[in-house]
Structure formats: structure tokens, C-alpha cells
A and B are shown apart, each in its own frame.
Chain A
Amino acid sequence: MSEADVLRQEVLAPVADVGGPQQPLLAVRGLSKHFAVGGGLFGRGGVVRAVDDVNFSVDKGEVLGIVGESGCGKSTTARLIIGLIAPDKGEITLDGEPVGPALTLRELRRRVQMVFQDSYASLNPRLTIEETIAFGPKVHGIAPAVARARAHELLRKVGLDPSLFADRYPHELSGGQRQRINIARALALAPRLVILDEAVSALDKSVEAQVLNLLLDLKEELGLTYVFISHDLNVVRFISDRVIVMYLGEVVESGPVEALWTDARHPYTRALLAAMPSLDADHRTQEAPISGDPPNPIDPPSGCRFHTRCAFAEPVCSAEAPRLMPTGNERHAAACHMVDPASGHSRAPVASPEIQHAI
């Protein structure tokens, strides 16, 4: 085997598995990112607690959905995982390997890639499609001819004919085609984890379905793991195995998708689900599940951050922040005083010995 072949095999094949199927591909512990805002000329500044002590893990081959409204910290979480911004606190581990000084950005990019919402803004308008996709492999030392062949292979994988598309520029393509290019580019270095941040939100409905099918096929074929961020609960339900729900920088509930849809425990999750437009013309929504807008993430409410909009709020809710507690369903947890027998909330379950034991 020539030196080039060795390099090709090393760079264009996924990084080898380390911990086996039991070890999560991604583990996030105590992740926090705060942004200072204001200050300067116009008086006092504040701190946006964009992501605050967030914990979750993603198994190998799993799709983890992250849902929440604007300002809940879902995109900041994505940017932290892929190293676009540095966390203030917390650790991120990829298949047992801590992300940090030991794992260079270059090595991190071989393991994690991202697809963004705006398909046009995330492509370089001066590069042809082929150059765009081949760019990453070239940076990683692959010979231009090999990188080009790789680009063509990926174009075919995402359903675009290389002979028609390789030499085109982003502005010559439709939104759906551009998002396919972004997916192809994300796959060019054979990552194990792909973060999809509202990747189908800007697409027309008929095209969105095509891209979702493509994502399912690629996951199957390449053994990928996805973190799928979206505000659209229908899409999240369709593609995810597990879901975490975020509100003002915190995880308020997490669990398998069916448990969340049929047995949501956090009032915010229930409100989100109830806020989806009805699809039955005979049974339209009659009442909004919650009123008002999400509060400003600068100086969020005390205690449970949702208590200002919650119909069940009691004094304990503004005094004390609830922790994520197991609900009794497998891998299902919610951060609500109504789930915690010890909280003193009038709707909390009566503590049973087994549950206390389990905690």
C-alpha cells in the first residue's frame, strides 16, 4: 500500500470505536456557557445563562432530539459540542476521550460535524460544490484527485448526480439541493457524530420529507449518530430515539420519544405538545396551553425557571430549583417538583420506599 493509500484509509474512514457499544458516543457533564450582554455605553450589563449545568449522553447509533423555544440554549449546546465556542464549565467526552487540549480541533472535526439551518449562508459562494466537499479532506492531507473522487462519491450518496452538480456554485441550487450539499460536506471526513441544527427547518415541506428520508438512509448506511435540534416537534418525533427538552438554558425533561409523547411529566413539555396545531379540522385547539412569551434569558426566574408560566406553581417552585429526577419510566427524567416526592409540592407523589431506594 502506498503512503497515499494509508492516509486515505486513515482519514476517510471513521475513527475507530474505543469503548464498545455500551459506552456513550457523546457524554456531556455539567456544561455551562454564560454570555455577558449590554454594559458599555448604555448602562448596566447582564449575563445570559445560555446553557446552565446541562447533562446528557448520546448512545452509539442513536438519534437524540433537542427541542425547545428560542433562547432555550439548544443551538449554544450544539456549538459547544463542536467546539465553535468554549464552555465556561463542564466536560464533553467523545467515546471516552475528553474534548479539550488533548484532542485538537482538527481531530475533533474528524469525529463531529454539523449541518446548519441556513443552507446558503453555510456554503462558500466562491467555491464550486466539488471544491466545497473536497475542502475538508484536502486540509487533512488527502491528495486533490482523491478528495475529488470522494466528493463525487458523496454527491451520489446524497442523491445528486456529480456530472450535473460538481461544477455548480451554491447560488445555482435550490434550498433542498444546498442542504444535501451541506450534508455531503459534513460526511466528507467520515464523522461518527453529526449535529443537525434546525437542518430541515428552512426547507419546503415536500423537500423536508426528502431530506429526512436521506438522513435516515445515511445513518443506516454509515452507522452515524445524530444530535437533531429542532423546534418542530413532529420532525423530532419522527427521527429521534430519545429527546431532551430545554427551557431557558436547562434540561427540564429527557426520555425516550414515546414516553415523552404519551407520559410527559414536566408541565412545559406538556404545554409544548399541546401547542402543536391540531390536524383535525373537526377538533381545533380551543385554548392555548400557556400564556405569554418565554421570559428573557437575562436574569431568568428564580427556582424553577418555568414557574412564571406554570399553572401548578407553588411557593417551593420559585424558592428552589428542581433537579432532574427519574419518573419511573425507563431512562425518563423530569426536573419538576411535582415529580420529586421530597419537594413538598402538593402534587408531588407520595414517597414510596422503592422509589426512594432507586434514587
Chain B
Amino acid sequence: MSVNPLSAPIVDIRDLHVRFSGERTVNALNGVDIALAQGEVLGLLGESGSGKSVTLKALLRLLPPRRTTITGSMHVAGQDVLSMDDEALENYRGGVVSMIFQEPMLALDPVYSIGDQIAEGVVRHKGVSWAQGRARALEMLEGVRIPSARRRLDAYPHEMSGGMLQRAMIALALSCSPKVLLADEPTTALDATVQIQILLLLRELQREMGMAVIFVTHDIGVAIEISDRVAVMYGGRIVETGKLRDVVKNPQHPYTRGLLASTIHGAKRGVRLETIPGAPPRLDRLPPGCSFAPRCGLADAACSQGEILAVPLGPQRNVRCIKLATNIAVPVGV
């Protein structure tokens, strides 16, 4: 995949492979390319085991180094992520790239107050005084619309509801003004009426702060609410990417089409749903060629041979499928 030549991307991931070794060898990522522009929101859409969370963790170098083999390249804001030493990583995590997680209760420290947790990061990254750190914490809690923020500074995680905790985690993640925010299903564990509030808040903060966001989700509705561009992952690869509208209204990859057709949104009551047969592949036994081929109605022998390359369909629009009508005459594997 080529990088958008118009502006230097803030996140530039090329041919990223991640392999976990141990009892079994798991090929979690198998050639992922992502180029994210400053201020852009990329929705990373996929099912469990498709590699979306691993991509985020690799980008923060959070994967266990002993068992993980990473090849390819990752650059964020011009820095080479894979060559960073421990000290560089400390400055990078939270300062340049920050992450919010699905379960705020597990991500926040239960024995420190919310205000102290935010202040600690600000003091460490910005070199300011503790009082200034606490002031920044208050500013952030107000920024994420936590009611009576001053009082909440001294609250502990167990004293807050799920929605408030998720707001506090967003405040923590954004307190050092990172250039890139990674969001790993941050609304999945929330109630419906709270989920939409958090999505709207993230959208607003993203616009205000102008940061780039990679938002991982399995929910197409959530991806539509938040993304400028989406990348659909399957078997550790991005199988389709493009502007949100193009992908949702005109999906090209058989997996994307199946996924959109099988969502229950607006399905007619009692009428059988269109489904994709089978289940997502196991990453320790990925089929050769296209990993979707065993479930694909269009697949033939060619689909299971060699690497399936991404076919460009337009600017920032790629589909990794050799069965595309537009691609029939073009030789593949070049």
C-alpha cells in the first residue's frame, strides 16, 4: 500500500508482521500497512482474532518482547517505534501516542485517586510541578464533562460509574496532548445510552485537539459514528480500506460484503439473515493465500495460492481480493 503523498503521515506502518511463539506459533499480523494523516480517524473493524487489538499494542510496543517477533516498520511522528529504547518508549507512551481501553476499571489504578493518576503523567511528561499537574487534571476532567469535576479529582475508580470512569480514562489519555490516540473498543462495555455519549465526546475532543485516532471496534454502527476512514481486518491482514462512505455503501471484498449483509441492523423480523458460513480462521493455522477463501462463495484454487496483494481502487482505497470484477484482467502476484 502506498502512503498518501500529499502529507507526511503521522502514523506510518508498513508490512507489519507479528508472530507469537510458545506452545503454538500464532501469526497474529501478516503484513499490515496503515498510513494515518494528522487529524484523521481510522476505524479498524474486525472480529475477534482478526488482529485489530494486536495492531494497537504493537504500535505502543506493549506486546511481551520475549515471545513476540515483530518485522516490518512503524513510524509515528517521524520516530522509528521499533528501534526505541526503554527511555524513548517512556516518553513516547502517553506523550506521543496514548491509548484507551475497553475496561476502565482494569486500566485505572484502584489505589490512587483519579486526579493523582492524571497529575502523575503530566508531571512526568511535561516536567511541571505537582500543583500544575493537578490543575491540568482538573482541566481535563472538565474537558470530558465530568460533573462536579473538582470533587471527582479526589475520587477513586471504585467510586465512579462505568461511563464516568471511561470519561476519566479519556481525560488521562489526553492529558499530555498526544498526537495519536489509540482506542480499543472503548464503548463496548458501556450501556447503550452511555455509549453514544462517549462516542460524541470523542468526536468532539478529536476535532478540538486535532489528533489522529485509530479506533478499534467490532461494531459497524460504532465505526460509522466515529470514523473518517475504515480498514476491515481479517486473519491478521487489512482486506479492505477506504473512506467510510465508500466502504459502507460500496463494499468490495466478499468478507466486508458478508459482514454488512449479516448485520441485524434493519433486518426484517423473522426472515432468515444472510450469513457468512463457518468461523474466523485460527491464527496458528492460517490457510495459505487469502485467509477468507474457505468461507468465500467466490473462491477458487487461485485464492489459496501465494500472497494476495492489495488492489488499489482509488486514493486510499484498497481491496485485497483477486476476484474483484475490476481486477480480472490484471495479472496478480507481480
Contacts and interface: CB of A to CB of B under 8 A. Distances in A.
Given A205-B259, A205-B262, A206-B47, A277 B191 contact: no
Interface stretch (A138-146, A162-170, A281-289, A338-346): A281-289
Nearest to B268: A238
B326 interface: no
A23 to B, nearest CB: 24
A293 B196 contact: no
B191 A231 contact: yes
Interface stretch (B75-83, B108-116, B170-178, B221-229): B221-229
A213 B191 contact: no
Contact of A69 (B164, B193, B280): B193
Given A205-B262, A278-B221, A176 B192 contact: no
B272 interface: yes
A216 interface: yes
Contacts of B263: 205, 209, 234
Interface size class on chain A is: 35 or more
Nearest to B163: A293
Contacts of A286: 200
Contacts of B220: 205, 279
A296 B159 CA distance: 11
A55 interface: no
B202 interface: no
Nearest to B270: A216
A298 interface: no
B225 A285 contact: yes
A205 B47 contact: yes
A285 B265 contact: no
B120 to A, nearest CB: 26
A233 interface: yes
A294 B265 CA distance: 25
A288 B196 contact: yes
Contact of B48 (A204, A212, A281, A296): A204
Contacts of A296: 161
A289 to B, nearest CB: 7
B47 A292 contact: no
Interface string B266-308: 1111101111110110000000000000000000000000000
Interface in B192-225: 192-197, 199-200, 218-222, 224-225
B31 interface: no
Interface stretch (B18-26, B54-62, B124-132, B241-249): B241-249
A240 B161 CA distance: 31
A210 interface: yes
A272 B266 CA distance: 16
B224 A208 contact: no
B279 A284 contact: no
Given A278-B224, A281-B248, A206 B258 contact: yes
A294 B164 CA distance: 11
B264 interface: yes
B264 A234 contact: yes
B273 A213 contact: yes
Interface in B146-196: 147, 161-164, 191-196
Contacts, number: 136
Given A238-B264, A277-B199, A284-B224, A272 B192 contact: yes
B196 A285 contact: yes
A288 B244 CA distance: 22
B164 A279 contact: no
Interface string A226-245: 00000111110111100000
A127 interface: no
A258 B196 CA distance: 23
A204 B52 CA distance: 14
B104 to A, nearest CB: 12
> Which residue, B192, B197, B219, has most C-beta atoms of chain A within 10 A?
B192
A280 interface: yes
Contacts of B268: 238
A208 B48 CA distance: 13
A276 B264 CA distance: 12
Contacts of B274: 209
A281 B196 contact: no
A176 B225 CA distance: 27
Contacts of A80: none
A229 to B, nearest CB: 14
A293 B259 contact: no
Interface in A259-286: 271-272, 275-282, 284-286
A276 B221 contact: yes
Nearest to B246: A281
Contacts of B225: 277-278, 284-285
Top 3 nearest A-B pairs by Cβ distance? Answer: A277-B221, A69-B191, A204-B47
13 contacts: A69-B194, A70-B191, A174-B280, A175-B48, A204-B47, A204-B280, A205-B220, A209-B273, A212-B264, A275-B195, A284-B224, A288-B193, A293-B161
Given A70-B191, A276-B192, A293-B191, 19 more contacts: A69-B191, A205-B259, A205-B262, A206-B47, A209-B273, A209-B275, A209-B276, A213-B273, A235-B264, A238-B267, A240-B269, A276-B221, A277-B219, A277-B221, A277-B224, A279-B265, A284-B224, A284-B225, A289-B193
